[in-house]
Amino acid sequence: MDHTPGCFICGGEAGLHANISGFVQCKAAGERVITMFETGARLDYRDFEPDYVQVKVGACEKHKGALEALHQKTKCCGVISEDIIKKAAGGPNEDRR
């Protein structure tokens, strides 16, 4: 559980959510990853730890399965893409609310 700006599927409310996190090369790379999500993702960047940059993606209780799918689809190669996010979310016809 960590603070995220909501659920990456439905938006939801900001707060503590189940989440996954991944390290990125730099702040700019993390910002690029964040733009792939409509909501539910945040950059964990600290000026005093500039080499320790993470992207955190949250999901509400209803969409924890999609979060697990996202984790499974990214852990093998350590790469995330808009296509992977859509597949984890259940495709373009997924009920996002």
- The pLDDT tens digits for 51-88 are 999 999 999 999 999 999 999 999 888 889 999 999 99
Domain of 61, in residue numbers: 2-89
pTM for the whole thing? 0.85
Number of domains in the chain: 1
What values do phi and psi take at 18, rounded to 5? -60, 140
Q: Does 96 fall in a domain?
A: no
Q: In sequence order, what E strands does the chain have?
A: 2-4, 15-24, 41-44, 53-59
Nearest to 27 by CA among 11, 42, 6, 5: 42
Q: Does 95 fall in a domain?
A: no
